[in-house]
A and B are shown apart, each in its own frame.
Chain A
Amino acid sequence: MISIRSKLSLWLTGLVVIATIVALIFFESMLRQAFHDSIIARLQEDLQQVLLATHIDDNTFSIDQTQLSNFYKPVYSGRYYQLDLPEQELRSRSLWDQRLEVVDLNKGETRAWQTKGPQNHDIQLLSIGLKSDSSGLNATLTVAQDLSIGRKIFSEIYGTKLVVNLVMLIAMIMGIFLVLRQSFKPVNQMKDTLARLREGEISSFDLDTIPLELQPLASNYNELLQYSSKQIERSRNNLGNLSHGLKTPLAVMQQQVEALGLKDPVTADALQKQLNLVHKMIERKLAAARITGEMLPAAQMQLPKDIEDLTQTLKKVHRTKTINCRLDIAAEVSRLPMHREDGMELLGNLLDNAFKWADTEIRVCISNHNQQLIVSIEDDGPGVKTEELALLTYRGKRLDEATMGHGLGLSIVKDIAEQYKIALQFEHSQSLPGLKVTLNFSD
């Protein structure tokens, strides 16, 4: 779906453009009308003036030039008059050799029209029909005005208006974009906040920084987040309790089967196999079901504390060996983006494996280059044959699992890595003679 911001930008811009065009058209017609009206008014004045200057003597019409304005004198001055009589025509000097095409009118009739006049300029004409009371002679008096000068002014005014309006239009469109960008800042901030929530950098929206309209959304999201993390924690605990609850009776059965083994080894062996199966299911499937996936920062694995605890524990578990376990953790990495218990299980199993196989040395390196969080564990044990490395990666199975306890360690490692989308890689260590396991946390 198109974004609200683009929608608003488009609509507002469209509306402003349309409003400007309508305003310009309206203004143009108003201006044209006003211009026309003013010309007609002027011509009516002219008509009155010419009429006053017109005299009838013995059936002859004459116009007293002295009573008229000087505009009628220069040739093609732009103001003209013409008196049409049945046998004669009286024209202003300004008309010079031109005559106006006039329709004869009856007394009292008027006519206003436009046509081409001298010099091929547009002119506005106004005629009135006259009748001499004494002689009964009909006459038509016409005054005219050149429109070109007026039109020039009209164009100037209109042009200025157009420029002003266009500048305003551009300013308004820019304003719309600026205002929208400003108004949508909180939305973008929310987007960033969501990304940070996903990364586990923060645990909830800060409602104070969110605009009123979006607050219900944010608070709902917070509630949902809290609810789901509680739910996850609860099911995690329940699954944990289930697996613990199953293991104690299993331990009892294990003891009884061992006791039975002295009397009836065949039955005991069969039972033992079933017990192993149940145990494996608990360790593998229940453990897998408990893997949480992404988690709030408070529940994440803390570095270097948690890994130091792990290596201390492993040193106690493998007390008979003297192993130098070197931790090289980049200072800026303060946690692993996974639930602490899953992280401990993942690294615990891998480190346990390293401790089992290592001769004297283990190196753990945690680095964060170019947003790539990488954990590597190397040992100086016998290593794994090249052709077995691939199997290790694909099946999560060490071919010789004798040293792996119940042989579940790597399967659990694989389950956890899968859940967290961690790329797991087994290879020959470059710096030590043994195996190198690499965990890449960036997808």
Chain B
Amino acid sequence: MKLLLVEDNTLLVEELLKQLKQAGYVTDATDKISEADYLMKETNYDCVILDIGLPDGNGLELLERWREQGIHTPVIMLTARSQWHEKVEGFNSGADDYLGKPFHTQELLVRIQALIQRAYGKANSPNKQLTYAGVVLDEGQQSVTIGENTFELTAMEFRLLKIFIMSPKKLLSKAQLTDKLYQFDDEKESNVVEVYVTHLRKKLGKTAIETRRGQGYIFHGITP
């Protein structure tokens, strides 16, 4: 799952990037409105964490612009402006959630997860488990359970499986998957998706992920 963090306090960004990475997210961070706007148009983010007061503009105005342009990516406002009239303004501008600073990382993570699950049409799972067709992905443990067997997942495997399980039965192109696995500026290895699909198949079985040559992959899960 890929996030965009728009925040100008470098220390906070540093800490948050660490925490988000640990939680299995790939996050692009910027402190500029213009760059955020550019990244948003280049990348398919699952969720945006947006501050209001930024050096080159107002986060709410950017959000309003996005909504007017038909960009419906879930946005959580992360701001020191946490009075009710400010929250009202935030939601009216198109925010999906609002978290006041200072905040507990856990709360931010819960809210991001809830927003992403809602965007993918999944019911909110309080026990941090995503289930599809016999595959149970534990987001807390970053492990997968099939029947009685539980397998630990590497960070990359976890990210990839989460993408699959959020969009089951859908054709996902290699480019789409790569895009979600790497940060914007990362050097992208061309065969990374193939490598990790192979890893996952070892744990889930061969039929869980179908390859459509030249097109991409479809996640089926285990039980039909």
Chain A positions near chain B (C-beta within 8 angstroms): 243-256, 258-259, 275, 279, 287, 306, 309-310, 312-313, 316-317, 319-320, 340-341, 344-345, 347-349, 352
- Nearest B-chain residue to A406, judged by Cβ: B100
B170 sits at the interface (CB 8 A):
no
B215 sits at the interface (CB 8 A):
no
- Nearest B-chain residue to A349, judged by Cβ: B84
Task: Indicate the member of B11, B84, B105 with the most A CB atoms within 10 Å.
Answer: B84
Q: Which residues of A contact B53 (CB under 8 A)?
A: 244
Q: Pick the contact of A255 from B15, B88, B118 — CB < 8 Å? A: B15
Would you list 28 pairs from A and B whose C-beta atoms are within 8 A, ordered by A residue? Answer: A244-B80, A245-B80, A248-B101, A250-B102, A251-B12, A251-B80, A252-B15, A253-B102, A254-B104, A255-B15, A255-B19, A256-B15, A258-B104, A259-B18, A287-B83, A309-B88, A309-B92, A312-B88, A313-B84, A313-B91, A316-B91, A316-B96, A341-B83, A344-B83, A344-B84, A344-B85, A347-B84, A348-B84
Q: Which residues of A contact B9 (CB under 8 A)?
A: 248-249, 251-252
Bound-state CA distance A306–B87 (Å) is 12
Task: Indicate the member of B88, B96, B100 with the most A CB atoms within 10 Å.
Answer: B88
Given the known interface contacts A253-B102, A255-B105, A320-B124, the answer about A345 and B85 at a Cβ–Cβ threshold of 8 Å is yes
Question: Quick check: B11 and A345 within 8 Å, CB to CB?
Answer: no
- Nearest B-chain residue to A245, judged by Cβ: B80
Given the known interface contacts A244-B81, A248-B80, A309-B92, the answer about A254 and B87 at a Cβ–Cβ threshold of 8 Å is no
Given the known interface contacts A312-B91, A340-B85, A341-B85, the answer about A279 and B102 at a Cβ–Cβ threshold of 8 Å is yes
Task: List residues of B (84-138) whose CB comes within 8 Å of A's CBs.
Answer: 84-85, 87-88, 91-92, 96-98, 100-105, 118, 124
- Nearest A-chain residue to B85, judged by Cβ: A344
Q: Which residues of A contact B118 (CB under 8 A)?
A: 319
CB distance from A285 to the nearest CB of B (A): 14
Bound-state CA distance A275–B15 (Å) is 17
Q: Which residues of A contact B15 (CB under 8 A)?
A: 252, 255-256, 259
CB distance from A354 to the nearest CB of B (A): 13
Bound-state CA distance A349–B97 (Å) is 17
| Given A250-B101, A251-B102, A317-B98, 16 extra CB contacts under 8 A | A244-B80, A245-B80, A247-B101, A251-B9, A254-B103, A255-B11, A256-B15, A259-B15, A259-B18, A309-B92, A313-B88, A316-B96, A341-B85, A348-B87, A348-B88, A352-B84
CB distance from A64 to the nearest CB of B (A): 121
CB distance from A319 to the nearest CB of B (A): 8
Q: Pick the contact of A248 from B12, B87, B91, B97 — CB < 8 Å? A: B12
Given the known interface contacts A317-B98, A344-B88, the answer about A252 and B11 at a Cβ–Cβ threshold of 8 Å is yes
B40 sits at the interface (CB 8 A):
no
Q: Pick the contact of A247 from B18, B80, B96 — CB < 8 Å? A: B80
Task: Indicate the member of B19, B102, B103 with the most A CB atoms within 10 Å.
Answer: B102
CB distance from B59 to the nearest CB of A (A): 13
Bound-state CA distance A259–B15 (Å) is 8
CB distance from B105 to the nearest CB of A (A): 5
CB distance from B16 to the nearest CB of A (A): 7
Bound-state CA distance A212–B83 (Å) is 46
Q: Which residues of A contact B105 (CB under 8 A)?
A: 255, 258
CB distance from A411 to the nearest CB of B (A): 14
Q: Which residues of A contact B98 (CB under 8 A)?
A: 317
Bound-state CA distance A191–B71 (Å) is 56
Question: Quick check: A345 and B103 within 8 Å, CB to CB?
Answer: no
Interface flags for B179-208 (1: CB within 8 Å of A; 0: not) read 000000000000000000000000000000
Question: Quick check: B88 and A254 within 8 Å, CB to CB?
Answer: no
Bound-state CA distance A275–B103 (Å) is 11
CB distance from B73 to the nearest CB of A (A): 16
Question: Quick check: B103 and A251 within 8 Å, CB to CB?
Answer: yes
Bound-state CA distance A408–B98 (Å) is 17
CB distance from A161 to the nearest CB of B (A): 78
Question: Quick check: B12 and A313 within 8 Å, CB to CB?
Answer: no
Question: Quick check: A313 and B87 within 8 Å, CB to CB?
Answer: yes
Q: Which residues of A contact B124 (CB under 8 A)?
A: 320
Bound-state CA distance A259–B18 (Å) is 10
Bound-state CA distance A59–B105 (Å) is 152
